């Protein structure tokens, strides 16, 4: 039985109340029932139908405008960091059925039955290792055309409980690794003006969470990293930009995902904050890659509201945090320890 959440409700409304075809059908029903065309109910329904049609039309135009080239998957070389488990592993397996070659970077060995998935042992927080493995990938598979930075870790400790090495390790993997992989693989994408960089941030980029300070801080920094990269690629007039507008950038800010990384986290109001299945996140990544369009993905729905919390008075934010439960969420955490990475 499927859980009923606010996302389920919004999906239903999107298929009905906000669907122009459904609205037109409803107008016809009103007409058949004898409601006068100049009556208040019919006029209100007609206005709503026009609004729904405008919104749908703008969405369609936006999708058409963003869509890029037709991706020839057999020619693509995709690099996935953190591909030994969780979302990274699932994405790598899904890509293997589409892409020509998939290179997985992880400290743990990948078990895959796909012939076109190639494992490279690499600690992505180490720039020297990343550069060495990048050279191996280019020699063996060719220049990567897509880079998916998915690797992530969390210590699950309070700020005072974290050791210096745990803090550095968390920031290195969750933030600095993105710099090293982009510096290693982006130059050829820029030269060809073709490619795609996917950055895995988090809903926790918008709100601090006890026992996850190093994770939240790094994910928050990734927002600025992503935007800086995007504008460096798009800007044409500056001599310090790349003038590579066809290199796409996608940012993902998912809420809780049902993987081992955040196993045991407590969600007090699952109707509002449902836990995502890894397939939901993987599907969003593949959709962005397949359409060759950069996008920002907030999922599930409540994540769309989290950036707005920054504009609220601190008292209102404290109340929301207390009610929604993130302050207590990590108390029951039993996910991966740093030593397991």
Which residues carry out catalysis? 215, 219
Instruction: Judge if the upstream peptide bond of residue 32 is cis by omega within 30 degrees of 0.
Output: no
The helix (run of H) or strand (run of E) holding residue 136 is: helix 127-141
User: What CA dihedral angle connects 334, 167, 310 and 235, to 10 degrees?
Assistant: -120
What is the spatial distance between Cα 289 and Cα 279, in angstroms, rounded to a whole number? Answer: 15
- Cβ pair 51, 17 in contact under 8 A: no
- What's the N-to-C CA distance of the chain in angstroms? 34
> In the chain, where do the E strands start and end?
77-81, 101-106, 117-121, 146-149, 195-200, 247-254, 296-299
134 closest CA partner among 125, 144, 126: 144
Q: How many angstroms separate the most distant Cα atoms in the chain? A: 75
């Amino acid at each position: 039985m499927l859980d009923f959440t606010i996302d389920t409700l919004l999906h239903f409304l999107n298929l009905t109340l906000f669907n122009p075809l459904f609205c037109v059908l409803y107008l016809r029903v009103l007409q058949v029932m004898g409601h006068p065309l100049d009556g208040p109910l019919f006029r209100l329904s007609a206005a709503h139908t026009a609004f729904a049609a405008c919104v749908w039309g703008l969405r369609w135009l936006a999708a058409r405008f963003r869509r890029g080239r037709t991706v020839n998957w057999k020619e693509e070389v995709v690099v996935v960091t953190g591909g030994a488990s969780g979302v990274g592993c699932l994405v790598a397996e899904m890509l293997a059925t589409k892409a020509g070659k998939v290179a997985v970077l992880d400290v743990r060995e990948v078990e895959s039955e796909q012939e076109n998935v190639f494992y490279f042992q690499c600690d992505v927080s180490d720039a020297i290792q990343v550069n060495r493995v990048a050279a191996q990938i280019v020699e063996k598979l060719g220049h990567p055309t897509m880079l998916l930075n998915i690797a992530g870790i969390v210590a699950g400790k309070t700020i005072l409980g974290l050791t210096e090495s745990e803090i550095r390790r968390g920031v290195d993997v969750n933030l600095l690794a993105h710099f090293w992989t982009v510096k290693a693989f982006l130059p050829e994408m820029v030269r060809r003006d073709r490619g795609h960089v996917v950055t895995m941030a988090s809903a926790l980029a918008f709100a601090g969470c006890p026992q996850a300070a190093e994770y939240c801080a790094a994910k928050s920094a990734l927002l600025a990293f992503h935007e800086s990269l995007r504008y460096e690629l798009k800007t044409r007039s500056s001599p310090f930009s790349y003038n590579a507008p066809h290199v796409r950038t996608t940012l993902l800010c998912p809420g809780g995902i049902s993987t081992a990384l955040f196993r045991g986290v407590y969600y007090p109001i699952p109707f509002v904050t449902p836990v995502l299945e890894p397939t939901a996140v993987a599907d969003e990544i593949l959709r962005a890659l397949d359409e060759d369009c950069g996008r920002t993905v907030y999922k599930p729905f409540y994540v769309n509201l989290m950036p707005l919390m920054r504009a609220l008075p601190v008292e209102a934010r404290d109340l929301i945090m207390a009610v929604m439960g993130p302050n207590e969420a990590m108390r029951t955490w039993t996910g991966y320890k740093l030593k397991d990475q």
